[in-house]
Amino acid sequence: MNVFIGSGRLVKDAIVHGAEKKALKFTIAAKYGYDKEAQKERVEFLPCVIFNPSESLEEHLVTKGKGLFVEFQGRVATSKFESDGATKYSTEVVVNTASFNIVTR
């Protein structure tokens, strides 16, 4: 089963791709431990996408997204594509909108 549960802060405001089938893309910074040697938190940057988001969610993440702390469930998706004659690979989290929460603290 491919289930991802994550949380983190949006690195910048989300970006909308497409017109009919919208894809709302954003990246979260997710902490995953402490590096004693460097004396700082370890952080992963996770690219995420929400397909066909509600208008209110889209507006919120596009205009006020940067720095928001979010929690969500989704699945990890990989893709392969050609660009300038080279094969490239991409991995992102496809978010389940029913589980998407903006956390206010």
Residue range 32-62, pLDDT digits in tens: 999 999 999 999 999 999 999 999 999 999 9
- CATH for 4-103 (2.40.50.140, 3.30.1600.10, 2.40.110.10, 2.60.40.10): 2.40.50.140
The chain-wide mean pLDDT, for the chain, equals: 94
pLDDT for residue 73 = 97
Q: What is the pLDDT of residue 19?
A: 78
Quickly state the pLDDT bin for 21 (edges 50, 70, 90).
Answer: confident
Q: Show the CA angle centred on residue 63, arms to residues 59 and 68, nearest 5°.
A: 100
Could you tell me the pTM of the whole model?
0.88
pLDDT at 105 over 80: no
